[in-house]
């Protein structure tokens, strides 16, 4: 881990690191907020997964999460959204919803993507092992995200319930097997067998986990979100939640859209939700 930036904020430190990823076969950057409590000992961490076109810096600079995280004693771990570098393949047409900036938090099985696009393993295994070995972090984790990152947080949290105390999401793509963004990404990274897609679909996962213990879940969705009807389809997840008895909190927020203004408004709620479960 090579430290690239270090800023003091709310008594804590906003850091940016670079490292050579063995899982993604490229150099990656990620951001970390360490609260003041980290100077005294290990602290729990909330992993934040960002959405399409974002890097690790969008959340750290726009969400205003550091104040509440500093109060609550939470570290924030903020990875990039895809592998990066000249050797990493990208969408040949330069589309924003596939390739660089759009890793969709899956393990690609198709060429030319599978050598680099292993974002699921990077988030679940490599990055936590790295930061917990080098920073004052406990093994207590929660996971959250926005849009494509909300999809990633729900899928990773549901598939690894023993690793995360709680899960939350803003405007998540909850049923990617049924919407344009998801169909494009899953077919490109995983191939044409739609049965392989289901393990990366939060709605199907919630249905399959009916009756099993899962972490507490909080989802916020704005009803003025321009992507709600075509890409996000929150009602699918609401129906699966009801059928499975999972008990997820799914809140429709009047007047809010898909932007970071929405995230900034409710991020404190989400961090307090995670803090209560991490404790």
Annotated catalytic sites, by residue? 147, 225, 258
Distance CA 238, CA 256 (A): 19
CB atoms within 10 A of CB 138: 13
Instruction: Give the span between the Cα atoms of 151 and 175, in whole angstroms.
Output: 8
DSSP string, 143-170: EEEBTHHHHHHHHHHHHTTTT-S-EEEE
Measured distance CA(239)–CA(208) in Å, rounded: 13
Q: How far is CA 106 from CA 127, 235, 239, in A?
A: 15, 23, 24
Nearest Cα residue to 150 out of 15, 51, 54, 260: 51
Kindly state the helix (H) or strand (E) to which residue 53 belongs, with its residue range: none
Please identify which residue in the block is written with the tokens 């030319």.
112
Dist CA 58 CA 27 (whole Å): 19
Q: How far apart are CA 254 and CA 198, in angstroms?
A: 31
Distance CA 138, CA 20 (A): 23
């Amino acid at each position: 881990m090579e430290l690239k930036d270090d800023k003091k904020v709310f008594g804590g430190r906003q850091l940016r690191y670079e490292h050579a990823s063995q899982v993604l076969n490229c150099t990656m950057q990620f951001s970390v907020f360490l609260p003041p409590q980290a100077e005294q000992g290990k602290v729990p961490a909330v992993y934040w997964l960002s959405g399409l076109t974002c890097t690790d810096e969008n959340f750290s600079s726009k969400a205003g999460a550091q104040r509440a995280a500093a109060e609550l004693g939470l570290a924030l771990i903020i990875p990039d959204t895809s592998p990066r570098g000249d050797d990493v393949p990208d969408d040949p047409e330069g589309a924003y919803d596939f390739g660089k900036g759009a890793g969709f938090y899956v393990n690609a099985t198709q060429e030319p993507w599978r050598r680099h696009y292993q974002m699921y393993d990077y988030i679940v295994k490599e990055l936590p092992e790295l930061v917990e070995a080098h920073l004052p972090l406990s093994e207590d984790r929660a996971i959250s995200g926005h849009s494509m990152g909300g999809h990633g947080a729900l899928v990773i949290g549901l598939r690894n319930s023993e690793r995360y105390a709680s899960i939350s999401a803003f405007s998540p793509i909850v049923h990617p097997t049924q919407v344009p963004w998801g169909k494009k990404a899953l077919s490109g990274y995983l191939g044409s067998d739609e049965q392989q897609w289901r393990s990366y679909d939060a709605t199907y996962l919630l249905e399959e986990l009916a009756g099993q213990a899962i972490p507490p879940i909080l989802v916020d969705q704005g009803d003025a979100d321009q992507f709600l009807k075509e890409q996000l389809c929150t009602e699918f997840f609401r129906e699966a939640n009801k059928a499975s008895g999972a008990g997820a909190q799914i809140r429709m927020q009047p007047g809010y859209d898909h932007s970071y203004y929405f995230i900034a408004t409710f991020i404190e709620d989400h961090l307090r939700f995670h803090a209560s479960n991490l404790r």
